[in-house]
A and B are shown apart, each in its own frame.
Chain A
Amino acid sequence: MITEQQVYFFKTFGYLVLKNMLTPDELKKIQDEFSVGLAKMDESKMGASVRKQYNWTNLGPNSPFTASLLEDERFYGVAQQIYGNDCVGVDSHANQYNGDRSPWHPDIREPGPDQFNGFKFTFYLAPVDGNSGALRVVPGSHRPWFSAEVEKVFLKDNNPGPDDDPGLAVNEVPAHICVSEPGDAVIFDYFVWHSSWGGSRDRRMVSLQYYKNPKTPEEEEGMRQMVAFRKNFNKGFKRETKLYPDFWLANPNNNVVRAQWIEQLQKWGFIDAVNA
């Protein structure tokens, strides 16, 4: 669980670093499962431009421990503190990055935060800092007015200016660097602008993702838009396996929380959309 001050920090700045959330034994299991998943990747599945990224789901039978983290009270409990007791665990991904940077971006632009709220835990499996691929954020940029301002700034990679003033490199944008050690969790709001700089090949990260349950007609519309967003996003990685494998959907241990989540994901249309 996190303190009220930490919840306020997250809502103010759009991110939060939690130290030592995983034990060395747990990290070993995650690394082992990661390696099994990575062995199935080949260059045809690499996506995301300069990030040179492989991305696959952790919800399959080869990563049972990593999959179980989504329901782990250490993480689900934090999600409930931030988004209410009925928030939904929606995904767990593994990512390997081979590029030297991730350009600045928010994970979502539309629907906006008045219609949709979500965040992810990220666990980097090696120590990372400002020169080796640590997540960078513009604190507070998850707020719509701030995000709109950042959109106006010329960025070399993805919003270049004219030839004589092409804009800022990733490391020239004023940012806070989320230095982390294996076991630390870096949580960030989907709308916060983030990037990385200086990462080497084989930079490994796993994520857990949670959505706020929609309550208003606007939020329900936002969730419908998210279904479409995720369906399109999925195409960029040329996946061969379902994002919601039958293994996870079968819920072999009859986990009550997972059962509720599956019901919600089906109701919203995610499972049909991303498994198609």
Chain B
Amino acid sequence: MLTEQQITFFNTFGFIILRKVFSDEELAIMDDEFETSLKIIQRERPDNEAPKHFNWSNLGPETPFLSLLPEDPRICETAEQLFSEYAVAVSSNSNRRVGDTDWHTDQSHPHSYGLKFAAYLQPLNSDNGAFRVIPGSHKQPFNDTLKHIEMDSPEMTVPYYSCDSAPGDIIIFNFATWHSSCGGSSDRRMCTIDFYKNPETPEEVEGTYDQVIVDEKVYAKIRASGSAFHPHWLANPQNSPRRQRWIDWLRKYGFVKSEAA
């Protein structure tokens, strides 16, 4: 759980780093599951066909630990502190990235609100691909102003804060926070869990529907294979009330298509 000051930090700067969330044993499991699922993917998409950002869902039976992470209290209760008790987990993914990531936000609509938990599986600093943020850039009008800056100009360095991290740390960031990375290797590994805020206004409802469309387009480019929601996860074999609430929400807004039910 976050302290009041950590919540203030997140709301002020648009991100926060939680240190040593996962134990060494848990990290070993995460590494194994990542490697196992990557090998499955690589049989279908060899590396020379893989995009710079390679992404697949962790909600299948071959990644049992990662598939349960969204419901881990360290994750979902933190999301609920930041986004209210109706925060919804919409993905648990593994990502393999190559090289640099240009400056961008993950927010597709001004009234669509999400946050991402990112756990990098290698030590990272500002020279080898650590997550970079512009603190406070999730807020308007700052967020919009940055669209007019040549963010990736070689002549002018955009000011950033480097979220140096070690395996076991989690970086949580607001979708609207501008972020990037630089100097990453050809095999930068991370696990992510996304939460969306339950929309409360007509604008937010519109924003959520818009996010569905954007997510589909993004995943079409980066998704290695398979759908975001494995039938095994959707079956909810443990009858988790929280998971069922999420599934119902995901169906309502179209994140889960009827054919995947």
Residue in B135, B139, B145, B148 whose CB lies within 8 Å of A175: B135
Interface residues in B12-54 (C-beta closer than 8 Å to A): 12-13, 15
User: Does B161 reach chain A (CB closer than 8 Å)?
Assistant: yes
- The stretch among B3-11, B84-92, B107-115 that forms the contact with chain A is B3-11
Set of chain A residues within 8 Å of B146, measured between Cβ atoms = 12
User: Does B191 reach chain A (CB closer than 8 Å)?
Assistant: no
- The stretch among A2-10, A205-213, A238-246 that forms the contact with chain B is A2-10
A-B contact list, 5 entries, CB within 8 Å: A13-B159, A140-B137, A146-B136, A153-B8, A153-B12
User: Does B134 reach chain A (CB closer than 8 Å)?
Assistant: yes
Residue in A140, A161, A167 whose CB lies within 8 Å of B136: A140
Given contacts A139-B136, A165-B3, A176-B160, 11 further A-B pairs with CB under 8 A are A5-B155, A12-B145, A15-B159, A138-B136, A140-B142, A141-B136, A150-B12, A152-B8, A153-B9, A174-B135, A175-B135
Interchain CB contact under 8 A, A152 and B135: no
Interchain CB contact under 8 A, A174 and B161: yes
A131→B256 CA distance, assembly (Å)? 50
Nearest Cβ in chain A — how far from B14, in angstroms? 9
A176→B136 CA distance, assembly (Å)? 12
A119→B65 CA distance, assembly (Å)? 53
Set of chain A residues within 8 Å of B161, measured between Cβ atoms = 174-176
- Which 5 residue pairs of A and B lie closest in terms of their CB atoms, listed nearest first? A176-B159, A174-B161, A139-B159, A174-B135, A149-B12
Set of chain B residues within 8 Å of A138, measured between Cβ atoms = 135-136
* Nearest residue, chain A, Cβ from B142: A140
Interchain CB contact under 8 A, A174 and B133: yes
* Nearest residue, chain A, Cβ from B159: A176
Set of chain A residues within 8 Å of B133, measured between Cβ atoms = 174
- Counted as pairs of residues, one from A and one from B, with CB atoms less than 8 Å apart, the total is 61
User: Does A154 reach chain B (CB closer than 8 Å)?
Assistant: yes
Set of chain A residues within 8 Å of B218, measured between Cβ atoms = none
Nearest Cβ in chain A — how far from B6, in angstroms? 9
Interchain CB contact under 8 A, B135 and A145: no
User: Does A137 reach chain B (CB closer than 8 Å)?
Assistant: yes
User: Does B220 reach chain A (CB closer than 8 Å)?
Assistant: no
Interchain CB contact under 8 A, A5 and B12: no
Set of chain A residues within 8 Å of B8, measured between Cβ atoms = 152-154
Q: Write the A144-184 contact mask toward B (1 if CB under 8 angstroms, else 0).
A: 01100110111000000100010110000011100000000
* Nearest residue, chain A, Cβ from B4: A165
Set of chain B residues within 8 Å of A15, measured between Cβ atoms = 159
Q: Write the B139-166 contact mask toward A (1 if CB under 8 angstroms, else 0).
A: 1001001101110010110011100000
Set of chain A residues within 8 Å of B148, measured between Cβ atoms = 8
Nearest Cβ in chain A — how far from B8, in angstroms? 6
Best-buried of A140, A143, A149, A175 by chain B (most CB within 10 Å): A140
Interchain CB contact under 8 A, A12 and B135: no
A13→B148 CA distance, assembly (Å)? 13
Nearest Cβ in chain A — how far from B145, in angstroms? 5
Set of chain A residues within 8 Å of B156, measured between Cβ atoms = 5-6, 9
Question: Assuming A138-B136, A174-B161, is B142 touching A143 (CB within 8 A)?
Answer: yes
Interchain CB contact under 8 A, A149 and B135: no
Set of chain B residues within 8 Å of A137, measured between Cβ atoms = 159
Nearest Cβ in chain B — how far from A158, in angstroms? 15
Best-buried of B5, B149, B153 by chain A (most CB within 10 Å): B5
Interchain CB contact under 8 A, B5 and A161: yes
Interchain CB contact under 8 A, B150 and A149: no
